[in-house]
């Protein structure tokens, strides 16, 4: 391989892990209770932290993120751009296999990315990754990305679980079953999946790499109701529960067998507006934002497990590029005036919202409270609280297909380009509001072309300011993580996007 001009990034690839070391045989069964039932483990379509955790354990990527969102090599051994910046080349480890014995070589890696980029496949991440262009295998150990456009953030794209390497041959053979039992090359594999109830991971006997399985099994139980999850921890039925509600924290911390942990979180919780009809009017959007008492809800409903938003992008996303703004003032009288200016008398504006039950902290209660806040300014609001599967289908629809006006969604993705491009670039799949601003489109394209940190800070700061002022969302708060963990669990780590990391977990 000819010498590559390496891509340089600030504060990335620090602490890249070395060669595989001898590990003890897997021991113990970790039991985890989660609130949301994953629809799929196929990384091209998955959008849940619990499924991210499975993908991280079952699949591998060229790169990966550590628990602090630093980028690490995984399958990659070397990488770099061509002199003209049009080809990004990655050298990969040789001798790797998928759990079914198929070779994980350059051809398999290229096929996985070309599937992700195939419009016919319909991945929810295709638009975000479109800059990668076409992936080509060169021999057994080299993959070339013939870039469709410049992108100085390619490592962050490749480190997210959406870029995990899938076995395309197995996808063709298994169809939808692949989403339930993906064939990967990671330390674990999915042994069983019972929709709406449970799923189990067991060690992958063919795995070779830096993160060998430490557990005999990881059992997941789906328990959407907060009380049910807490009871499982209190009675010793599970070892880890996600999203401990504020009213349960004292009881969990009083246990001799478990405690609540609060890892850093970058989850930005918002009501994402469908920008058609009345919500195309900036005055209406601003009025709805002014109707929300964020601090009161964060304290009264979330029990302090939330910090009112001062920008769409949550802390930890990429703080060196993040900008914050003065909080939106709670001003119901001012909101009423704006609605009147927009031509809406009390009771004439009707809106519906779609919210999940058990996906975010107190999501159903928050949804009802927001509907009440809208009623207080003369807006007739209907809060549709639905199961996780229905909610996911609704908020995942193209804006033109939506019949509701807004949906509660939390966003937590590492990387400023990754976050802003997927949500606010015109026509990108994850842009479910229909937001389109030519100035933002131009800035996002420019942000991908430049590598100077100061210039990036200026560009992405301007994008954040425009979005904050345009208010395509009802900005709410940054959710605080709260997990209940048994004292016998050692080495559990959690990424800021709430993805559980099982690399080092052992049980006393």
pLDDT given at position 379: 98
Q: Residue ranges of the chain with pLDDT lower than 50?
A: 1-22
Q: Which long-range contacts (C-beta less than 8 Å, at least 24 apart) are formed by 116-124?
A: 116/44, 116/162, 116/163, 121/44, 123/44, 123/45, 123/429, 124/44, 124/45, 124/47, 124/396, 124/429, 124/430
The CA distances from residue 92 to 105, 139, 142, in Å, are 8, 11, 6
473-479 and 217-222 strand pairing:
unpaired
DSSP reduced 3-state for 279: helix
CATH architecture of 29-210+482-507: 3-Layer(aba) Sandwich (3.40)
pLDDT given at position 184: 98
| Tens of pLDDT, residues 470-501 | 999 999 999 999 999 999 999 999 998 889 99
DSSP state of 171: H
Domain assignments of the chain as residue spans, ordered by start? 29-210+482-507, 268-479
Q: Locate tokens 């976050």: which residue?
A: 419
DSSP reduced 3-state for 447: helix
| Tens of pLDDT, residues 170-209 | 999 999 999 999 999 999 999 999 988 999 999 999 999 9
Q: Locate tokens 């590492």: which residue?
A: 414
Burial class (CB in 10 A: 0-12, 13-18, 19+), 423: buried
Distance (Å, whole) CA 352 – CA 371: 9
Distance (Å, whole) CA 204 – CA 58: 8
418 CB contacts (<8 Å, ≥6 apart)?
128, 153, 156, 157, 160
Distance (Å, whole) CA 160 – CA 151: 15
DSSP state of 82: -
CATH for 268-479?
A: 3.10.105.10
Backbone phi, psi, residue 94, to 5°? -105, 160
């Amino acid at each position: 391989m000819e010498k590559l001009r390496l891509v340089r990034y600030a504060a990335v690839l620090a602490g890249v892990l070395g060669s595989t070391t001898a590990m003890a045989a897997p021991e113990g069964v970790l039991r985890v209770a989660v609130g949301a039932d994953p629809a799929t483990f196929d990384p091209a379509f998955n959008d849940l932290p619990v499924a991210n955790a499975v993908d991280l354990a079952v699949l591998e990527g060229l790169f990966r993120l550590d628990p602090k969102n630093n980028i690490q090599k995984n399958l990659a051994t070397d990488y770099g751009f061509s002199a003209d910046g049009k080809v990004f080349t990655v050298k990969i480890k040789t001798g790797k296999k998928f759990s079914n014995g198929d070779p994980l070589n350059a051809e398999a890696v290229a096929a996985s990315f070309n599937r992700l980029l195939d419009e016919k496949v319909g991945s929810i991440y295709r638009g975000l990754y479109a800059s990668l262009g076409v992936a080509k295998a060169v021999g057994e150990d080299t993959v070339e990305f013939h870039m469709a456009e410049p992108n100085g953030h390619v490592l962050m794209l490749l480190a997210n679980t959406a870029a995990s390497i899938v076995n395309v041959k197995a996808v063709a053979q298994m169809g939808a079953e692949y989403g339930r039992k993906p064939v990967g090359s990671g330390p674990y594999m999915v042994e069983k999946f019972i929709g709406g109830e449970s799923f189990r991971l067991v060690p992958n006997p063919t795995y070779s790499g830096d993160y060998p399985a430490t557990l005999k099994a990881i059992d997941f139980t789906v328990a959407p109701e907060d009380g049910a999850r807490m009871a499982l921890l209190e009675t010793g039925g599970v070892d880890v529960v996600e999203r401990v509600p504020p009213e349960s924290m004292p009881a969990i911390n009083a246990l001799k067998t478990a405690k609540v942990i609060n890892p850093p979180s970058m989850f930005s919780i918002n009501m994402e507006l469908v920008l058609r009809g009345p919500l195309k009017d900036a005055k209406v959007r601003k009025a709805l934002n002014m109707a929300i008492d964020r601090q009161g809800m964060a304290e009264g409903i979330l029990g302090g497990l939330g910090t009112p938003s001062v920008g769409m992008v949550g802390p930890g996303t990429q703080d060196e590029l993040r900008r914050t703004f003065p909080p939106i003032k709670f001003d119901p009288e001012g909101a009423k005036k704006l609605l009147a200016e927009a031509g809406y008398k009390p009771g004439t504006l009707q809106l519906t919202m779609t919210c999940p039950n058990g996906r975010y902290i107190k999501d159903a209660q928050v949804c009802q409270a927001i509907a009440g806040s809208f009623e207080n300014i003369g807006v007739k609001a209907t809060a549709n609280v639905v199961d996780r599967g229905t909610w996911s289908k609704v908020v995942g629809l193209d804006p033109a297909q939506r019949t509701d006006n807004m949906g509660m969604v939390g966003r937590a993705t590492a990387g400023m380009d990754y976050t802003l491009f997927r949500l606010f670039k015109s026509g990108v799949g994850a842009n479910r509001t229909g937001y389109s601003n030519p100035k933002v489109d131009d800035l996002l394209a420019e942000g991908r072309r430049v590598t100077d940190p100061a210039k990036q800070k200026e560009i992405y700061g301007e994008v954040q300011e425009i979005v904050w002022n345009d208010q395509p969302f009802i900005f709410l708060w940054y959710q605080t993580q709260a997990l209940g963990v048994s004292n016998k669990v050692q080495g559990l780590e959690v990424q800021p996007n709430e993805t559980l990391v099982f690399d080092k977990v052992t049980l006393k």
